[in-house]
Amino acid sequence: MARRIRSSRLNRYAENQSKKQFLIFGISTLVIIFLLVQFAGPILGLFGNIIFGIRGDEENVSANSETAEVLFPPNLNNLPTATSSAQITVSGTSGYEEGEIILVVNNTEEDTTKLGSDQKFTFRNVDLRKGENEIKVYYSLKDKKSEFSQAYTVVRSSEKPELEISSPSDGSTFKKADKRINVTGKTDENSSVTVNGFRAVVDSEGEYSYFLQLNEGDNKISVEATNEAGVKESKEITVKYENG
């Protein structure tokens, strides 16, 4: 009898516990449903903003990458520092196989040429004004431009260089031990000098010298100076050598 009473109590206790758990589960479910209904919109909106924000950042990065693309400037081949010619040829290379190279002389766009598969360009018969001429180029593709290339300054000049013969004097006479004489003088800086066709030594101030072997009798000494523009100036003297 006691066992039946105890068993009955246990069954009632288990039933009560089941009812409590069911009640708690039901209330929890209702609370979750209520919260979802109240806050589903903001949560979804926040999630959408995060997704679209990420996509927007990716688009901005892509756009910035396109905007930040750098076009490299062309390379000019060496140009003379001076010339007597009214026209020169300008050439160079580029790292591109399409697009255009624009020639700029004295800050004015003078000519345009298209690039090919060899990535080379040439401008022929480029006019120079007297005096200094600044020459540079840049690369262009559609609406984009590169920086300027290195600039060269070319001086157009027809002026003859200065030329003086300091020693020996015209009409001088040399004897015996003086068969080898030193021809000296002065010219412009950066000019070259020849004495009877042989290259003389010219220092940074334009002073030149050349040791010349004399022959018996009269000796003509021809000195010629050539400046950076290629303009020449020459002078000639005569000296005499006597071995007797």
CATH class assigned to 75-156: mainly beta
**Could you state, in order of their start, the residue ranges of all structural domains in the chain?**
1-69, 75-156, 163-242
Distance of CA 242 to the CA centre of its chain: 63
How confident is the model at residue 152, as a pLDDT? 97
75-156 against 163-242: fold identical: yes
Q: What is the mean pLDDT of each run of 10 residues along the chain (244 residues)?
A: 49 61 70 66 55 54 55 96 96 96 97 96 97 97 94 95 97 93 96 97 96 96 96 97 87
- Is the bond preceding 73 in cis, omega lying within 30 degrees of 0? no
3-state secondary structure of 14: helix
Q: Which among 201, 210, 208, 211 has a CA at the least distance from the CA of 180?
A: 211
Torsion angle defined by CA atoms of residues 10, 16, 20 and 22, in that order, rounded to the nearest 10 degrees = 90
How confident is the model at residue 19, as a pLDDT? 65
Handedness of CA 126, 127, 131, 132 (dihedral sign): negative
Which CATH architecture is the domain 163-242 placed in? Sandwich (2.60)
How confident is the model at residue 9, as a pLDDT? 56
- Apex CA 220: angle with CA 219 and CA 221, to 5°? 115
CB 123 within 8 A of CB 113: yes
Q: What is the DSSP letter of 130?
A: S
How confident is the model at residue 235, as a pLDDT? 98
* Residues with Cβ within 8 Å of residue 197, at least 6 apart in sequence: 222
CA distance 192 to 79: 19
Alpha carbon distances (Å) from 48 to 34, 43, 55, 59? 22, 9, 11, 16
Token readout for 54 is 């990420």
How confident is the model at residue 165, as a pLDDT? 98
How confident is the model at residue 11, as a pLDDT? 55
Residue type, 158: S
How confident is the model at residue 2, as a pLDDT? 47
